[in-house]
Amino acid sequence: MGGKTGIMGGTFDPIHYGHLLAAEESRRQLGLDRIVFVPTGKPPHKRNRLVTSVEDRYAMTLLAVAGVREFSVSRTEIDRKSPSHTVDTLREFIAQSARPCELFFITGLDALLDIETWADFMQLPTLCTLVTATRPGYSVAGLENLPDAVKRALKLVEIPQFAVSSTEIRARVRDGRGIRFLVPHLVELYIEHRGLYREPEVSQI
């Protein structure tokens, strides 16, 4: 697997059109050959609530990219026993690629602004280009305060602003409000079929 690979990490609980739009616009604007979605196993940043089972999140991510030639889903973080760290995932992609492969790690602006809390974050600029998609509610002004090495590795991608989040989708399902056109149709059917997100969210701590 050579060429330019975009990696889009996330909890995807559930995956929604904001994720797909950020991935597609990054692919198109930066001329990436493919995008690999990497659902997290145990997200280090989301310890304060019980996350939906990895297999449900993986299944929804698969359904969301079904039929999109350039998009695929990786189980690497799901199958890892230890907590998911981006730096390990990137090293794994590099180790596994037979041909030289340029990596682009894609996040939304909110996630990138937190980068200094990620494990070994200063290693990230040596492994990949950091791509960040604009997201409603988060200002690009915050990027100024990031370390220079991070700023140098950064590519800002402006995308049509779509103010949807997984949190909002879960709340809508719980309250019986619709989620049509916020998530791909197959994801909507899966959520309904499996009865996901109907109960109030339980905190782990």
Residues at the interface with ligand ATP (CB under 6 A): 10-13, 18-19, 22, 107-108, 110-111, 133, 135, 162, 164-167
Tokens of 199: 């109960």
Q: Which residue is nearest to ligand ATP (CB)?
A: 108
Residue 65 or 164 with smaller CB distance to ligand ATP: 164
- Rounded least distance, CB 35 to ligand ATP, Å: 12
Residue 95 or 205 with smaller CB distance to ligand ATP: 205
Do the strands 154-157 and 129-133 form a parallel or antiparallel pair, or are they unpaired?
A: parallel
How many CB atoms are closer than 10 A to CB 136?
13
User: Phi first, then psi: what are they for 8, rounded to 5°?
Assistant: -115, 105
- Rounded least distance, CB 67 to ligand ATP, Å: 21
- Rounded least distance, CB 100 to ligand ATP, Å: 26
- Rounded least distance, CB 57 to ligand ATP, Å: 9
